[in-house]
Structure 1
Amino acid sequence: MDIARIFHKCLLEYTLADKIQGITVDNATANTKFMYELGKLLPHFDSDNQHFRCIAHILNLGVQDLLNNLALNIETDSQEQEQQCEDEEEKVEEYVPNISDSNPRHKSQTFDMTLWGQQLKSESLRKFEELYKEYKNLHAVPGSPGLPRHDNEVCEYDEDEDVIDFNKLYACPSTSSGSGIQRFNNNEFEDYLDKPRAANLQDLRDSCSKTETKIKTECAIPRPIPGLPTQDQDHDWGWDNMIENNLIYPEADGYIDDYDPNVEPTVLNEHATAAFRHFHTLIRGYLQLISETRDLVGEVRMNDWFNRPRLLEMGQAFDDLARGLTVQEQDFSDQFWDSEMTQFLFKRNRTFGGDLRATDIQRGRDHGLGSYVNTRAAYGLSVPQSFHEMSDYISKENIQVLQSLYESLQDVELVVAGSLEHNVPGALAGPTYLSILTEQFYRTRVGDRYFFENGADPDIAFTPSQLAEIRKSSMARLLCDNVNSINLMQPRAFEQLSPENELVPCDELPAVDLSFWRDTEYCK
């Protein structure tokens, strides 16, 4: 509600309240609530039909459908080019007028849900047809006039314009201000893109070093990771792996100035879309309610309470759930998922719901992830040349299933095969996912100059005393301080109770002394 009020205030301040055609935000429960509350403040805003979920995915899928139907391929022989362009022109003429008559999947239907979406699709198809005709003129036969030329007056851009002139944008392939479509000075990068993505790490390095125009997301080379052997022999990559790869410093005293401005800190697509999603397998379908004496007093079914936070306000449910998360055993890290996630996800009043596993697989396709084999090559792991060679890290039964589902080894998807690998001893993931996770958290730490343990810049660093207090913090103490009826907690809250991890009074757990943050200049 607060977000909706603040957003509404901004709309009024900038006189935009009556100009909204649609709003796109991530597909999260809080954002759904945000759209619902905004609809109350803006009577003309339809929170159901003008809320576009994951619009970037929708656009990506729409473009993929167009390209798949056109199947454009440029041949080197001029006669083949001419014949191809004639064939492709027939495809466009056949496809564009009859797109509404095709058998649309959910992504096409998304565009038709609102007038805004219908106009967007219609205008996109019109513009695509214009661009295709220009493409045909350029590539049809040798000696063709090519793309139409435009004088400088047409291609001038007013940097102060509030509205983008898309006709200018498409008509002017390149401008001095950098608007429009950039042209490469050589063909090395295009040549690389014709190869399987990341099939050979050296190809990637060579291509990026030769290309004058750098594409950061393609040229972010995974660093060599200590302890990740080419042949996947047994190795403790859990706690030891984090220490060996400088992700944590358990005995640290003082600053750890490991910030490196040359490390790319952004999130890897393989991490966000594959490796991190693997841990959905740990979800239990029923959450236990645990009393202060650590007795089971009840349990709640997940799908009964999706998008229903009222549970947290009922009796002692919040406290009992918090304790339950420190007592209940998580599910196993394997290929098997709880049916609450694969059959009843967000089912609401229906008999069945969604399938989170299927959603994860489709998300990997939407994001254009590299194949399982190519990803292993990119991270310096052994690359199987046949299904049989996967048996060192995937069971023979699962290899047979993969072979029956995929036509070739190169087709096997990272999201699928990565979850089938045997877990590395001491860790909850197989070698491929663990390599991705290690690389990601190294980048997140070392590439962030604001990381809390950095002390190189005194203007942004914590003082040594503040840093020492922060290192006292723990999940156990956090739960003690924020859950009303928790008075006992094991020191390592996310590990189950054991003789080495027994319940202790909250007062015995180290606490952060906030007095070290007092501004002594004004608080005397």
Structure 2
Amino acid sequence: IAEQQYITYREFLPAMGVNLPRYQGYNPFRNANLGNEFATVGYRAHSQIHGEFELETDLDRYTQADLDAMRAQGIEIAIVGDEVELAIPLNVAFFNPNLLNRVQLGPMLQGIGLESQYKNEEQIDNQLRSVLFQIPVPGNPECLDGPTLPQCFRGVVDLGAIDIERGRDHGMPSYNQLRRAYGLPARTSFAAITGEASEAFPPGTGINNPNSLDFTSLTDINGNPVPIGEDDAVTFTRRSPLAARLKAIYGSVDKVDAFAGMVAEPHVAGSEFGELQLAIWTKQFAALRDGDRFYFENDPSLSFIRHAFGIDYRHSLAEIIAANTDIPLSDLNPNVFLAG
């Protein structure tokens, strides 16, 4: 538990831009339970999830039978010299733990750690919105990804829609009510929610016009232009403002669902979150830390164990991966939560 806490508070939270107040020791009056607002709304960052796992490793890890079996499950395989690249669609990996035995733990964890995740925002990968929980049409083994997905299923369950419905099922307050509850001022316009200059649709677009969602420009992590359709983009401009689409759906800022408003906010500088989500995470992880009498910084037995037996909890996630797989530590990012 101490190792997990150490990684969470020393690596994961800083990587997400969550900076907690300095630890002052155990507080018996601090409630360390998970808040409903956190579990139901705040912790949901599904937009960061890729629609596939991408990894690259030595070709001699796998036999031809392994490669054939992975191809048969829908994994895309590209052999480049003495290395192999695997692209595993999320719906192939989902509910398929035996796949990990064939792919192997080391390459899987290394691949996850080396790949940048999507920006935490209002967009969610189509694999989570159309494929993950699926009712397939008969005879569709090729329906794994791509533009033909709508013809592949009789019905789908959209994870983004579930995120919104979950909030309603749990009686979550509206977006503005939740902002007030966390000490933030309510937003008075849709443009104020998104940080955009306008909440009006440009001529020739509208809420029922699909071209309002067209991308008009893309840039990579360094701000360089990326051709439309390429995978390296991290920022974008659409034909219509997000604020206009929210206004057309909700009509009033006071009717916006907490989840929808939260993910539409611009990020606080140095953070993966907008104001509301950052406030929710900060309060929750501070409570989990301060209200836990066994938190690693408050547990004197950990120091005794280290000095008496040489067992130390202070390990990075990269060190734990290297110790439990055949991936050398030098092949991993020092902080695997930061791709590079």
Q: Using structure 1 for the length normalisation, give the TM-score.
A: 0.43
Matched, 1:288 2:54: yes
Aligned equivalents of 2:93, 2:192: Cα separation in 1: 44
1:328, distance to aligned residue in structure 2 (A): 1.7
1:425, distance to aligned residue in structure 2 (A): 1.3
1:407, distance to aligned residue in structure 2 (A): 3.9
Matched, 1:494 2:337: yes
Please name the residue that 1:327 is paired with: 114
Matched, 1:441 2:289: no
Aligned equivalents of 1:395, 1:365: Cα separation in 2: 28
Question: What SS does structure 1 have at the residue aligned with 2:43?
Answer: helix
Matched, 1:411 2:255: yes
Matched, 1:423 2:267: yes
Please name the residue that 2:94 is paired with: 306
Question: What SS does structure 2 have at the residue aligned with 1:429?
Answer: coil
The answer (yes or no) to whether the contact 2:175–2:256 under 8 Å persists in 1 is yes
With a CA cutoff of 8 Å and minimum separation of 6, indicate the structure with the bigger relative contact order: 2
Mapping 1:324-473, distance limit 5 Å: 324-347=111-134, 349-350=136-137, 351-352=152-153, 353-387=156-190, 389-390=192-193, 392=195, 396=199, 397-455=241-299, 461-464=301-304, 466=306, 470=312, 472-473=314-315
Please name the residue that 1:10 is paired with: none
The answer (yes or no) to whether the contact 2:17–2:270 under 8 Å persists in 1 is no
* Amino acid corresponding to residue 399 of structure 1 in structure 2: A
1:485, distance to aligned residue in structure 2 (A): 4.9
Please name the residue that 1:245 is paired with: 21
Aligned equivalents of 2:192, 2:119: Cα separation in 1: 26
Please name the residue that 1:78 is paired with: none
Residues 346 and 438 of structure 1: CA distance in aligned 2, closer, same or farther (over 3 Å): same
Question: What SS does structure 2 have at the residue aligned with 1:291?
Answer: strand
Aligned equivalents of 1:448, 1:318: Cα separation in 2: 32
Please name the residue that 2:31 is paired with: 264
Aligned equivalents of 1:326, 1:239: Cα separation in 2: 13
User: 1:385-426 CA deviation, whole Å, 9 max, x = no partner?
Assistant: 444554647974222222221243221111111000001111
User: 1:461-518 CA deviation, whole Å, 9 max, x = no partner?
Assistant: 4235639954531111111111235464332223223xxxxxxxxxxxxxxxxxxxxx
Aligned equivalents of 2:162, 2:173: Cα separation in 1: 17
The answer (yes or no) to whether the contact 1:287–1:299 under 8 Å persists in 2 is yes
Q: 5+ residue gaps in structure 1? A: 1-236, 247-255, 498-524
Please name the residue that 2:238 is paired with: none
Aligned equivalents of 2:197, 2:126: Cα separation in 1: 23
1:239, distance to aligned residue in structure 2 (A): 6.7
Aligned equivalents of 2:192, 2:90: Cα separation in 1: 40
The answer (yes or no) to whether the contact 1:275–1:433 under 8 Å persists in 2 is yes
Larger radius of gyration: 1
The sequence identity of aligned pairs, in percent, is 28
Aligned equivalents of 1:242, 1:386: Cα separation in 2: 27
Q: 5+ residue gaps in structure 2? A: 1-12, 60-81, 138-151, 200-240
The answer (yes or no) to whether the contact 1:371–1:413 under 8 Å persists in 2 is yes
Please name the residue that 1:479 is paired with: 321
Aligned match for 1:274, one of 23, 35, 41: 41
The answer (yes or no) to whether the contact 2:15–2:338 under 8 Å persists in 1 is no
Aligned equivalents of 2:198, 2:325: Cα separation in 1: 44
Aligned equivalents of 1:286, 1:362: Cα separation in 2: 25
Aligned equivalents of 2:15, 2:115: Cα separation in 1: 22
Residues 297 and 379 of structure 1: CA distance in aligned 2, closer, same or farther (over 3 Å): same
Residues 425 and 446 of structure 1: CA distance in aligned 2, closer, same or farther (over 3 Å): same
* Amino acid corresponding to residue 21 of structure 2 in structure 1: N
Question: What SS does structure 1 have at the residue aligned with 2:296?
Answer: coil
* Amino acid corresponding to residue 277 of structure 2 in structure 1: Y
Please name the residue that 2:146 is paired with: none
Aligned equivalents of 1:301, 1:241: Cα separation in 2: 29
* Amino acid corresponding to residue 306 of structure 1 in structure 2: F
Aligned equivalents of 2:187, 2:57: Cα separation in 1: 51
Question: What SS does structure 2 have at the residue aligned with 1:443?
Answer: helix
User: 1:13-40 CA deviation, whole Å, 9 max, x = no partner?
Assistant: xxxxxxxxxxxxxxxxxxxxxxxxxxxx
Please name the residue that 1:520 is paired with: none
RMSD of aligned Cα (Å): 2.9
Question: What SS does structure 2 have at the residue aligned with 1:324?
Answer: helix
Aligned equivalents of 1:333, 1:367: Cα separation in 2: 23
User: 1:229-278 CA deviation, whole Å, 9 max, x = no partner?
Assistant: xxxxxxxx9679744523xxxxxxxxx6611111111111111111111x
Aligned pair count reads 246
Residues 463 and 394 of structure 1: CA distance in aligned 2, closer, same or farther (over 3 Å): farther
The answer (yes or no) to whether the contact 1:292–1:486 under 8 Å persists in 2 is no
Structure with bigger strand share is 2
* Amino acid corresponding to residue 245 of structure 1 in structure 2: P
Question: What SS does structure 2 have at the residue aligned with 1:419?
Answer: helix
Residues 391 and 304 of structure 1: CA distance in aligned 2, closer, same or farther (over 3 Å): closer
Residues 257 and 426 of structure 1: CA distance in aligned 2, closer, same or farther (over 3 Å): closer
